[in-house]
Chain A
Amino acid sequence: MVAPAHMNAEDAVDRLLAALPESDAAGRARFVELGFPTPRDEDWRFTPVKPITELNFSAAPVDADATLEGCVFAAIDGPQLVFVNGHYSEALSQVGELPAGVEVRPMSAGDCPAPPAPEDAFGALNAATVTDGPFISVADNVHFESPVRVYYLSTGSNGATVNVRGYIRAEVNSQVTVLESWTGKQAGCFNNAITELHAADNAQVEHVKFQDEHTGAFHVGGLHTALGRDARVAHHSLALGGRIARNNLRAHLNGTGIEAVLNGLYLPRAGQLIDHHMVVNHAQPHCDSHEYFNGILDDDSRAVFHGRIHVHKGADKTDAKQTNKNLLLSDSATIDTKPQLEIYADDVKCTHGATIGQMNAEQIFYLRARGLDEESARRMIMHAFAGEIVERIQCEAAREELDRLVWDRLEQMGGHVAA
Chain B
Amino acid sequence: MTAKRFGPVSLIKHAILWAAVAMIVFPPYVLVLNAFKSKEEFSQTSVFKLPDSFLNFDNFVSVMTRAHLDRAYRNTVIIIAVAVIGNVALGTMVAYILGRFDFKLKKAVMGAYIAVSFVPTITTQVATFTVVHNLHLYNTLWASIVLHLGTNVLQIFIYLQFLSNIPKELDEAAMMEGASLFRIYRTIIFPLLAPATATIVIIKTIDIYNDMFIPYLYMPAQKLTVVSTSLMNFSSERSTEWELMSAAILMIMVPIVALYLFFQKYVFAGIVNGAVK
Specify whether A and B are partners. no
By a beta-carbon cutoff of 8 Å, the part of chain A in contact with chain B is none
